[in-house]
């Protein structure tokens, strides 16, 4: 339990970046309502802040998925733990995710929402670690591209800890 956390992006920096993302997404949506899907639990802080910075009508929905496999390596198989409340058929879906690592989670969700008949599916991720990619997934909006480090805070956890840190930090174990 000698974990040290090094600040990577301060609360003010993250806040400013989310405002930029919200403005860019709103401009692209041009008044259309969006079905904002928050991927629990990691994206909860990000999705709520992003929703606050969007100027189009936002319908918020929540989904919880988990990947089979051990803690450090996902197996690529994703399972729905909690599904959305509402159908996405004909909707403009925007998935809010905390971080894209292997890309397996988002690859699964993209396929799933397309199968369900969404009008279109876009991805907004607060963070992306492209060096770790296994699945072919490209996000439409990314907060920060980061190297292969383990980050916590702003919703991201290490064994369920540190989600509530108001900034993004690198965990040195």
Could you count the other beta carbons within 10 Å of the beta carbon of residue 89? 10
Residues in Cβ contact with 142 at an 8 Å cutoff, skipping those fewer than 6 apart: 100, 124, 125, 126, 127, 128
Nearest to 61 by CA among 91, 104, 21, 31: 91
Residues 18-47 that bind ligand IMP (CB under 6 A): 42
101 is catalytic: yes
CB of 56 or CB of 101, closer to ligand IMP: 101
Residue 165, contacted partner among Mg ion, ligand IMP, none, CB below 5-8 A by kind? none
Residue 128, contacted partner among ligand IMP, Mg ion, none, CB below 5-8 A by kind? none
DSSP helix/strand/coil, 80: strand
Question: Going residue by residue from 68 to 87, which x/- string records binding to ligand IMP, judged by CB under 6 A?
Answer: ------x-------------
Name the active-site residue from 101, 120, 136, 172.
Answer: 101
| CA distance linking residue 170 with residue 36, whole number of Å | 28
Enter the tokens of residue 76.
């690529």
| CA distance linking residue 114 with residue 28, whole number of Å | 20
| CA distance linking residue 68 with residue 140, whole number of Å | 26
In the set 5, 150, 163, 167, which binds ligand IMP (CB under 6 A)?
Answer: 150
Q: Does 112 bind ligand IMP (CB under 6 A)?
A: no
Q: Does 99 bind ligand IMP (CB under 6 A)?
A: yes
In the set 36, 46, 91, 102, which binds ligand IMP (CB under 6 A)?
Answer: 102
Give catalytic residues, as residue numbers: 101
Q: Which residues bind ligand IMP (CB under 6 A)?
A: 42, 67, 74, 97-105, 150-152, 156
């Amino acid at each position: 339990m000698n974990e040290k956390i090094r600040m990577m992006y301060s609360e003010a920096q993250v806040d400013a970046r989310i405002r930029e993302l919200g403005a860019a997404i709103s401009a692209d949506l041009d008044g259309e309502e969006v079905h904002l899907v928050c991927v629990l639990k990691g994206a909860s802080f990000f999705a709520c802040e992003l929703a606050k910075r969007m100027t189009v009508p936002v319908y918020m929905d929540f989904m919880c998925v988990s990947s089979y496999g051990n803690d450090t390596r996902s197996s690529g198989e994703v399972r729905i733990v909690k599904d959305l409340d509402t159908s996405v058929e004909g909707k403009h879906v925007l998935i809010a995710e905390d971080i894209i690592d292997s890309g397996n989670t988002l690859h699964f969700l993209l396929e799933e929402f397309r199968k369900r008949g969404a009008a279109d599916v876009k991805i907004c991720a607060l963070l992306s670690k492209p060096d770790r990619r296994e699945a072919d997934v490209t996000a439409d909006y990314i907060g920060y591209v980061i190297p292969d480090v383990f980050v916590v805070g702003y919703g991201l956890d290490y064994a369920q800890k540190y989600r509530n840190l108001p900034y993004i930090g690198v965990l040195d174990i």
